[in-house]
Amino acid sequence: MRRSWEGAALLGALGAYGWALPRVRREYAEDGHLSRATAGVVYVAYGLHALGWLGAVRARAWPLTLPAPVAVSVGLPLALSGTGLFAAGWRALPPADDSGLATSGLITGGVYRVSRNPQNVGWALLLTGGAFVRRSGLGLGLAALFWMTFRAYVPVEEAFLERTYDEGYRRYRACTPHFLGWPSRDP
Query: What radius of gyration do the chain's Cα atoms show?
Result: 17
Q: How far apart are CA 134 and CA 173, in angstroms?
A: 36
Q: Which amino acid is at 110?
A: G
pLDDT at 7: 81
pLDDT in tens, the chain (187 residues): 455 677 888 889 999 999 999 999 999 989 888 899 999 999 999 999 999 999 999 999 999 999 999 999 999 999 999 999 999 998 888 776 544 555 578 889 899 999 999 999 999 999 999 999 999 999 999 999 999 988 988 999 899 999 989 999 999 999 999 888 888 876 5
pLDDT at 99: 46
Domain ranges of the chain: 4-175
Indicate the SS3 state at residue 136. strand
pLDDT at 1: 44
pLDDT at 70: 97
pLDDT at 181: 87
Q: Does domain 4-175 sit in CATH 1.10.3470? A: no
